[in-house]
Structures are given as structure tokens and as C-alpha cells.
């Protein structure tokens, strides 16, 4: 996606805009790529789990909670989240935090994609 088409702001009722996912017509079955815009002062009040994830911090600073650990993050940091690990984000900045998120979709991290050959 060209840089000028990346949705840097998200609708008021949602923090995440999906960029690549099966429901958008991509021939990909276990991965989703999205941009998350975390408002100033926001803290996840519910932690969630899914397959492996990578969070790359495009702007802002705060904390990435991974399991029992709180990791200070800022622009340019990359955090790996192991499959099945509870995690969340805290934005302690005065401005929005932007995070590029690549994650295995819930329920897919134990699955293997079916690869068909031309003879099938």
C-alpha cells in the first residue's frame, strides 16, 4: 500500500484498521496486518491472546504489556509476542501512538495452511 494511502487515523469507534487479511480478498489464511492508532492516555482494560504477533511502533511512546512484563516502547521499537500470551498496550503520551501490527489470526496458530498442487 502506498504511504499516502495508509490510514493514519481511525474511526472514533475503532482503534484498528486492517490492511491485509483474508476478508479483504488476500490469499492469506493465518496472518493479518493492521495499523492501530492508540489514543493518548489509553490503557487496555482487557488483555487478549492469539497466535504470535509483532508490534512495530511507528510513533508515540508508552508500555507494551506481554504476560507479566511491562516493556517501555517508543518510535522504532519492535516487540515480539509469543502465541497464547496475554498482552495489551498503554499509551502514556500526549499524542496518539501508532503501531503496525502483524499477527496470526485467533485460532490459526496451531493450524497449517493447505497447499494445493495443480494436480488437485
In this prediction, residues 26-52 reach a mean pLDDT of: 80
Q: What is the pLDDT of residue 48?
A: 77
Domains of the chain by residue range: 16-104
Superfamily per CATH, domain 16-104: Jelly Rolls (2.60.120.10)
**What span, in angstroms and rounded, lies between the C-alpha atoms of 103 and 53?**
4
Q: What is the pLDDT of residue 52?
A: 84
Which of 40, 21, 22, 5 lies closest to 101, judged by CA? Answer: 21
More confident residue, 98 or 108: 98
In this prediction, residues 90-109 reach a mean pLDDT of: 82
Q: What is the pLDDT of residue 32?
A: 79
pLDDT in tens, 79-93: 999 888 889 999 999
Mean pLDDT of the chain: 78
Q: What is the pLDDT of residue 59?
A: 92
**What span, in angstroms and rounded, lies between the C-alpha atoms of 7 and 82?**
27
Amino acid at each position: 500500500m502506498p504511504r499516502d494511502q495508509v490510514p493514519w487515523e481511525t474511526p472514533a469507534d475503532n482503534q484498528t484498521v486492517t490492511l491485509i487479511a483474508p476478508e479483504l480478498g488476500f490469499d492469506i489464511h493465518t496472518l493479518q496486518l493492521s495499523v492501530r492508532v492508540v489514543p493518548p492516555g489509553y490503557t487496555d482494560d482487557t488483555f487478549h491472546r492469539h497466535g504470535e504477533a509483532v508490534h512495530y511502533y511507528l510513533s508515540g511512546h508508552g508500555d507494551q504489556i506481554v504476560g507479566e512484563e511491562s516493556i517501555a516502547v517508543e518510535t522504532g521499537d519492535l516487540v515480539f509476542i509469543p502465541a497464547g500470551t496475554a498482552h495489551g498496550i498503554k499509551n502514556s503520551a500526549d499524542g496518539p501512538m501508532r503501531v503496525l501490527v502483524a499477527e496470526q489470526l485467533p485460532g490459526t496458530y496451531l493450524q497449517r495452511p493447505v497447499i494445493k498442487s495443480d494436480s488437485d
